[in-house]
Protein backbone atom coordinates (compact mmCIF):
# COMPACT_ATOMS: atom_id res chain seq x y z
CA UNK A 1 0.00 0.00 0.00
CA UNK A 2 1.31 3.43 -0.98
CA UNK A 3 1.73 5.48 2.14
CA UNK A 4 3.63 7.97 4.23
CA UNK A 5 4.44 6.77 7.72
CA UNK A 6 5.51 8.77 10.75
CA UNK A 7 6.87 7.68 14.09
CA UNK A 8 6.12 8.18 16.84
CA UNK A 9 2.46 9.13 16.57
CA UNK A 10 2.42 10.67 20.03
CA UNK A 11 5.32 12.02 22.05
CA UNK A 12 5.62 13.77 25.39
CA UNK A 13 9.05 15.16 26.22
CA UNK A 14 10.76 17.82 28.30
CA UNK A 15 12.44 21.05 27.31
CA UNK A 16 15.90 20.56 25.88
CA UNK A 17 15.80 16.82 25.29
CA UNK A 18 16.73 16.13 21.69
CA UNK A 19 14.22 14.17 19.67
CA UNK A 20 13.71 12.89 16.15
CA UNK A 21 10.46 12.26 14.33
CA UNK A 22 10.87 9.86 11.46
CA UNK A 23 9.07 10.03 8.13
CA UNK A 24 9.19 7.40 5.43
CA UNK A 25 7.42 7.00 2.08
CA UNK A 26 7.25 3.97 -0.18
CA UNK A 27 6.22 5.70 -3.40
CA UNK A 28 9.67 6.68 -4.70
CA UNK A 29 8.72 10.34 -4.35
CA UNK A 30 11.37 12.98 -4.87
CA UNK A 31 9.69 15.79 -2.91
CA UNK A 32 9.14 15.61 0.84
CA UNK A 33 8.05 18.22 3.32
CA UNK A 34 7.34 18.83 7.00
CA UNK A 35 4.47 20.94 8.33
CA UNK A 36 3.20 21.89 11.73
CA UNK A 37 -0.47 22.52 12.42
CA UNK A 38 -1.62 24.82 15.20
CA UNK A 39 -5.15 26.03 16.02
CA UNK A 40 -5.94 29.28 14.24
CA UNK A 41 -2.70 29.19 12.26
CA UNK A 42 -3.31 26.32 9.88
CA UNK A 43 -0.60 24.23 8.31
CA UNK A 44 2.78 25.91 8.09
CA UNK A 45 5.73 24.50 6.21
CA UNK A 46 8.89 23.88 8.24
CA UNK A 47 11.33 22.40 5.73
CA UNK A 48 11.14 20.71 2.38
CA UNK A 49 13.39 18.57 0.24
CA UNK A 50 13.45 18.40 -3.54
CA UNK A 51 15.61 15.27 -3.56
CA UNK A 52 18.40 13.47 -1.73
CA UNK A 53 20.80 15.94 -0.09
CA UNK A 54 18.66 18.90 -1.24
CA UNK A 55 16.72 20.66 1.52
CA UNK A 56 15.40 24.18 2.01
CA UNK A 57 13.62 26.24 4.63
CA UNK A 58 9.89 26.71 4.72
CA UNK A 59 8.06 29.41 6.64
CA UNK A 60 8.90 28.35 10.20
CA UNK A 61 12.31 26.58 10.24
CA UNK A 62 13.66 27.99 13.51
CA UNK A 63 14.44 25.27 16.06
CA UNK A 64 14.26 22.42 13.55
CA UNK A 65 16.71 20.46 11.45
CA UNK A 66 16.19 17.96 8.68
CA UNK A 67 18.27 15.62 6.58
CA UNK A 68 17.65 13.67 3.40
CA UNK A 69 20.27 10.97 3.05
CA UNK A 70 17.94 8.50 1.39
CA UNK A 71 15.09 9.15 -0.98
CA UNK A 72 12.46 7.44 1.18
CA UNK A 73 13.31 9.02 4.56
CA UNK A 74 13.07 12.60 5.78
CA UNK A 75 13.52 12.85 9.57
CA UNK A 76 12.68 15.98 11.53
CA UNK A 77 15.10 16.77 14.35
CA UNK A 78 14.45 19.02 17.33
CA UNK A 79 17.87 19.56 18.91
CA UNK A 80 16.56 21.41 21.97
CA UNK A 81 12.77 21.34 22.05
CA UNK A 82 10.87 24.16 23.71
CA UNK A 83 7.20 24.39 24.77
CA UNK A 84 6.37 26.56 21.74
CA UNK A 85 7.15 23.55 19.56
CA UNK A 86 4.19 21.69 21.03
CA UNK A 87 2.13 21.00 17.94
CA UNK A 88 0.76 18.47 15.47
CA UNK A 89 3.36 17.61 12.86
CA UNK A 90 2.74 16.23 9.38
CA UNK A 91 5.12 14.82 6.84
CA UNK A 92 4.10 14.86 3.17
CA UNK A 93 5.54 13.65 -0.10
CA UNK A 94 4.86 14.02 -3.80
CA UNK A 95 6.34 12.56 -6.93
CA UNK A 96 7.84 15.92 -7.79
CA UNK A 97 7.62 19.37 -6.24
CA UNK A 98 4.74 21.81 -6.77
CA UNK A 99 6.61 23.18 -9.80
CA UNK A 100 5.66 20.12 -11.82
CA UNK A 101 2.12 20.40 -13.06
CA UNK A 102 0.17 17.21 -12.67
CA UNK A 103 2.78 15.44 -10.52
CA UNK A 104 2.68 17.64 -7.47
CA UNK A 105 -0.09 16.04 -5.41
CA UNK A 106 1.15 15.84 -1.84
CA UNK A 107 0.30 12.79 0.25
CA UNK A 108 0.30 13.33 3.98
CA UNK A 109 1.26 11.06 6.83
CA UNK A 110 -1.03 10.43 9.83
CA UNK A 111 0.60 13.07 11.99
CA UNK A 112 2.73 13.18 15.15
CA UNK A 113 1.32 14.94 18.18
CA UNK A 114 4.15 16.43 20.24
CA UNK A 115 3.91 17.89 23.72
CA UNK A 116 6.98 19.64 25.15
CA UNK A 117 6.81 20.26 28.88
Partner 1 sequence: EDQVTQSPEALRLQEGESSSLNCSYTVSGLRGLFWYRQDPGKGPEFLFTLYSAGEEKEKERLKATLTKKESFLHITAPKPEDSATYLCAVQAEDFGNEKLTFGTGTRLTIIP
Contact residues for partner 1, defined by CB under 8 A: 4, 31, 33, 35, 40-45, 48, 50, 56, 58-59, 90, 92, 97-99, 101, 104-111
Q: Are the C-beta atoms of residues 90 and 5 closer than 8 Å to each other?
A: no
Nearest-angstrom CA–CA distance, 18 and 44: 22
Least Cβ distance, residue 6 to partner 1 (angstroms): 9
Nearer to partner 1, 69 or 101 (CB): 101
Cβ closer to partner 1: 27 or 41?
Answer: 41
Minimum gap (Å) between residue 104 Cβ and partner 1 = 7
Cis peptide before 66 (omega within 30 of 0): no
Nearer to partner 1, 85 or 93 (CB): 93
- H-run or E-run covering 117: none
Under DSSP, the state recorded for 80 is S
Amino acid sequence: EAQVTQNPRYLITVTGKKLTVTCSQNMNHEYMSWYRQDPGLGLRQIYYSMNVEVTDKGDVPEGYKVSRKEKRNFPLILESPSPNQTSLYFCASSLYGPNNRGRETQYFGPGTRLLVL
